[in-house]
């Protein structure tokens, strides 16, 4: 059936969508969300159908942005429209729903259809939910990883031996990569680090680094930076490394499930050609992984998956019961990282970064235990970081004291004396976000105390920063309500971690960052 194109500048989550009049749809036997094959100007495309009775006239076809761009339509063209059966991968998705284990060929077809946007939200959601409820075997995870790499772009760095680091995330203030990457690069190894932006957290590594230098580089620019400095610290989101993952995240985020964690991470490591990888698994009550048992299981899965993908993987299970360092929020964290590279960093951050470096050195085969701390103390890591900043287009002379943090501040003091018994990650995340982070780069929280510190009545516990009084006041109210820092005499006095009222707390956050 030939229909006349009418273009509409509507983006529908990156899908190819057309809208038909109900009469035409009935004639073609189409229901809403069915697929049609479109032919125009010698090109073909599969799109998803929406149906209207008035907005689009009989004989017309409304095309959304993606369809308009694909055919280079200006309106008035004739498009040949026919009904299309579901894509082949739908059969495999149904098999997974039914409980099957899928082989590589089927998984490859699924991932290809995901990347080609041939699956509807319903089909994609059913897949993600079934992957979660039925579980993924290591074989399936390997197949997914491989298929995700093959359907995306890859880094090429010639014969260099590539190292990489990843944190599964979950604790606020985790600026380890900004310290680890320059140490590794200063040691002579190559580490092209790509990072994500925050989705549910107050700051991702991409936002931290963006305070110091541009992170939105092209593949060619990144290769140039790595050639010069042995490293980079860039945003991986627009590089099309494992692009299927972006589609999965769109579904996982509203559902708060993360079945693709392993393939998602490992495909991105594979796409940068990493040979040696260290994975950080922060473990604690209020992070992603809550028990040592689960952390060990996850670590084993990473190791096993690494083997199948031809990578050496090691994992560090790290203390995740409070934020890392004292600063949360992009500029606050960038400043803390720079100070750390100058030898003035908080002990937990220094310890964690150098410990993960030493795991990598050990993997690669270097024997010098403690080398990471030496490199940090020698100033070589700071020098390397300034080289990376310069290569990415930032100011290599940047000083910590010149990084501006939010000048609207709210101080929270202790109303009692004792020791800091705990610092709640989830509360810190919510307050920092309420203050404006990560969108407002200067917003965040500066902690004055950490677990175990002695506190007197009236002592400063933390400061909230923002560039906006309304947001600051909202964050202050939230801090009053959530009380992120608990001060008490002894742990025994404070056995109650949280009161659960009849009403279900809806603030519980799911940290998708990976």
Which residues are marked as active site?
258
Could you give the maximum distance between any two Cα atoms of the chain, in Å?
A: 79
User: Within 13 A of 74's CA, how many CA atoms are on the CB side?
Assistant: 0
Shortest distance (Å) from residue 435 CB to a copy of itself: 13
Q: What token pair was written down for 94?
A: 């149904």
What are residue 209's phi and psi, to 5 degrees?
Answer: -70, -35
Q: Does 159 bind a copy of itself (CB under 8 A)?
A: no
User: Binding mask 25-64 vs a copy of itself (x if CB under 8 A, - otherwise)?
Assistant: -x--x-xxx----------------xxxxxx---------
Shortest distance (Å) from residue 456 CB to a copy of itself: 38
Asked whether 74 and 7 are in contact (CB, 8 A), the reply is yes
Q: Does 502 bind a copy of itself (CB under 8 A)?
A: no
Residue 220, burial from CB neighbour count under 10 angstroms (0-12, 13-18, 19+): exposed
Distance separating alpha carbons of residues 417 and 488, to the nearest angstrom: 7
Q: Does 74 bind a copy of itself (CB under 8 A)?
A: no
**Strand, helix or coil for residue 363:** helix
Count of residues in contact with a copy of itself, rule CB under 8 A: 49
Residue 429 to residues 4, 126, 174, 206, 489, Cα–Cα distance (Å)? 51, 30, 12, 17, 26
Q: Does 238 bind a copy of itself (CB under 8 A)?
A: no
Q: Does 285 bind a copy of itself (CB under 8 A)?
A: no
Using CB under 8 A, which residues numbered 114 to 133 contact a copy of itself? 120-123, 125-126, 128-130, 132-133
Using CB under 8 A, which residues numbered 82 to 121 contact a copy of itself? 85-86, 88, 91, 93-94, 97, 99, 120-121
Kind of pairing between the strands at 231-235 and 191-195 = parallel
Pick from 2, 4, 11, 416 the residue near a copy of itself by CB under 8 A.
11
User: Binding mask 433-472 vs a copy of itself (x if CB under 8 A, - otherwise)?
Assistant: ------x---------------------------------
**Strand, helix or coil for residue 184:** helix
Q: What token pair was written down for 61?
A: 């076809």
Asked whether 467 and 409 are in contact (CB, 8 A), the reply is no
Place of tokens 């708060």: 256
Pick from 37, 39, 112, 134 the residue near a copy of itself by CB under 8 A.
134
Place of tokens 């004292």: 326
Of the candidate spans 12-20, 146-154, 304-312, 398-406, the one that interacts with a copy of itself by CB under 8 A turns out to be 12-20
Q: Using CB under 8 A, list all residues that contact a copy of itself.
A: 8-13, 19, 26, 29, 31-33, 50-55, 65, 85-86, 88, 91, 93-94, 97, 99, 120-123, 125-126, 128-130, 132-134, 250-251, 253-257, 439, 504, 506
């Amino acid at each position: 059936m030939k229909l006349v194109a009418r273009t509409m500048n509507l983006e529908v989550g990156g899908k190819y969508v057309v809208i038909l009049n109900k009469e035409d749809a009935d004639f073609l036997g189409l229901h809403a969300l069915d697929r049609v094959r479109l032919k125009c100007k010698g090109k073909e495309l599969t799109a998803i159908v929406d149906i209207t009775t008035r907005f689009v006239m009989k004989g017309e076809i409304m095309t959304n942005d993606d369809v308009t761009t694909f055919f280079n339509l200006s309106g008035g063209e004739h498009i040949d429209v026919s009904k299309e059966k579901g894509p082949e991968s739908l059969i495999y998705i149904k098999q997974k729903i039914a409980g099957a284990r899928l082989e590589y060929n089927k998984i490859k077809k699924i991932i290809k259809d995901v990347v080609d946007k041939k699956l509807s939200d319903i089909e994609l959601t059913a897949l993600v939910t079934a992957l979660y409820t039925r579980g993924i075997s290591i074989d399936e995870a390997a197949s997914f990883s491989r298929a995700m790499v093959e359907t995306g772009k890859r880094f090429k760095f010639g014969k260099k031996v590539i190292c990489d680091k990843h944190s599964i995330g979950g604790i606020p203030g985790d600026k380890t990569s900004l310290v680890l990457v320059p140490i590794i690069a200063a040691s002579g190894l190559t580490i092209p680090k790509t990072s994500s932006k925050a989705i549910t957290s107050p700051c991702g590594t991409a936002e931290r680094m963006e305070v110091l230098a541009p992170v939105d580089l092209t593949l060619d620019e990144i290769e140039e930076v790595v050639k010069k400095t042995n490293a980079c610290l860039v945003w991986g989101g627009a590089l099309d490394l494992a692009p299927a993952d972006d589609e999965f995240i769109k579904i996982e985020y509203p559902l708060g499930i993360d079945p693709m964690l392993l393939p998602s991470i490992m495909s991105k490591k594979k796409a940068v050609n990493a040979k040696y990888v260290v994975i950080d698994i922060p473990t604690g009550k209020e992070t992603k992984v809550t028990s040592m048992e689960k952390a060990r299981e996850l670590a084993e899965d990473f190791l096993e998956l690494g083997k199948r993908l031809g990578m050496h993987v090691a994992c560090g299970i790290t203390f995740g019961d409070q934020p890392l360092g004292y600063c949360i929020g992009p500029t606050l964290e960038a400043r803390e990282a720079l100070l750390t590279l100058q030898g003035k960093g908080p002990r937990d951050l220094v310890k964690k970064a150098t410990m993960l470096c030493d795991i990598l050195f050990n993997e690669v085969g270097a024997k010098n235990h403690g080398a990471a701390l030496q490199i940090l103390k020698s100033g070589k890591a700071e020098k390397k970081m300034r080289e990376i900043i310069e290569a990415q287009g930032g100011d290599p002379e940047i000083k910590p004291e010149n990084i501006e943090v939010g000048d609207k501040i709210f101080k929270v003091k202790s109303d009692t004396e004792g020791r800091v018994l705990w610092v709640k990650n989830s509360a810190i995340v919510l307050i920092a976000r309420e203050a404006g982070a990560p969108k407002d780069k200067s917003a965040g929280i500066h902690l004055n105390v950490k677990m175990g510190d002695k506190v007197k009545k009236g002592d400063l516990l933390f400061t909230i920063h923002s560039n906006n009084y309304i947001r600051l006041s909202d964050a202050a109210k939230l801090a009053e309500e959530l009380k992120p820092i608990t001060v008490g005499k002894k742990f025994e006095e404070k056995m109650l971690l949280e009161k659960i009222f009849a009403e279900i707390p809806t603030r519980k956050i799911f940290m998708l960052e990976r």
